[in-house]
Amino acid sequence: MPPAIVFRKQLRRNKLLAFFAEQPACLVAIEACSGAHYWAREIGTLGHEVRLIPPAYVEPCVKRQKNDMADAEAICEAAQRPTMRFAPVKSEEQQATAVVFRTPDLLIRQRTQAINALRGHLAEYGVIMAKGTAYVAELLERAMDPKTDVPEAARFVLEIMIKTMVTLEMQIKKLDREIARRARKEKDARRLMTIPGVGPMTATALLALAPTAGSFRCGRDFAAWLRLTPLQRSTGDKQKLGATSKMGERTLRRLLIIGATAVVQQAGGEALHRHRGSDA
């Protein structure tokens, strides 16, 4: 017999755990969105089996007119599919590591915004500076130079921006030290750092953002999860491969590509050095 609807019930957030505490052990399907891992851990402690479904797999099951009831029905339908893929529930420590890892990216973007704003303001008064973090020290020096034609009213604001940049720089360095400390502390992170091109940042990101290694059958499956594979538009006997997909965990993919590029460049430089040595 096809599955039937037992009941429909609207719950407030503060009554959710009390509701599940009264229910017999069952399968609970949740869309993997903000707060999903917390609720999955809490509901799991009540004896239920919790499965997180990525939103991309739930959306095709929404029939029409998106609302909470239609979303809940789509989640139930997606959870019953035999080939459905579920996201593993993250622990509190994994989420804490992810927060530590993602925060420097936010601060770096804010620092870049402050640098660009400072350059733009100085350009309004004829002080033209080169782009890039390598010229930040010179940028700060020119901004505080009393010989420039910057009015006092603007200097007050520029001084606030400079203090903000200095504070951001200090916080970024502090977080970098925390990431390095966590990488030295974690056994798995130390093992990952033995791979060429993988440093503390990438090792910490792998532990925080990627599922456990046991979730994949082989390295090719992990590459597919990262979307380091081409898009397929194949049909019949014709195989059509496109560009690399932009889906998946972009941060991890970026770090791994940067690390691999550095290894290739280093290997190419060493090969060129040996070639020149043999010619000599």
Give the model's pLDDT for residue 277: 61
pLDDT digits (tens, 9 = 90+) for 23-46: 999 999 999 988 899 999 999 999
Closest by CA position to 114, among listed 159, 174, 148, 82? 159
Burial 115-135 (b: 16+ CB within 10 A, else e): beebbebbeeeebebeeeeee
pLDDT of residue 3: 67
Q: 120-142 pLDDT, tens per residue?
A: 888 888 888 888 878 888 888 88
Give the residue-averaged pLDDT of 156-178. Answer: 90
Q: How far apart are CA 275 and CA 280, in angstroms?
A: 9
pLDDT tier for residue 274 given thresholds of 50, 70 and 90: low
Instruction: Give the integer Cα–Cα distance in Å for 62 and 77.
Output: 9
pLDDT at 98: 86
**Is the pLDDT reported for residue 188 higher than 60?**
yes
Find out whether 129 and 138 touch, Cβ atoms under 8 Å.
Answer: yes
- DSSP string for 80-95: T-TT---BPPPPHHHH
Phi–psi pair at 147, nearest 5 degrees: -80, -15
Q: What are phi and psi of 126, to 5 degrees?
A: 85, 10
Domains of the chain by residue range? 13-79, 92-192, 200-279
Q: Write a three-state SS string for 31-58.
A: ECCCCHHHHHHHHHCCCCEEEEECHHHH
- Rounded Cα distance between 70 and 49, Å, is 22
Predicted TM-score (pTM) of the model is 0.76
Q: What are phi and psi of 144, to 5 degrees?
A: -95, 5
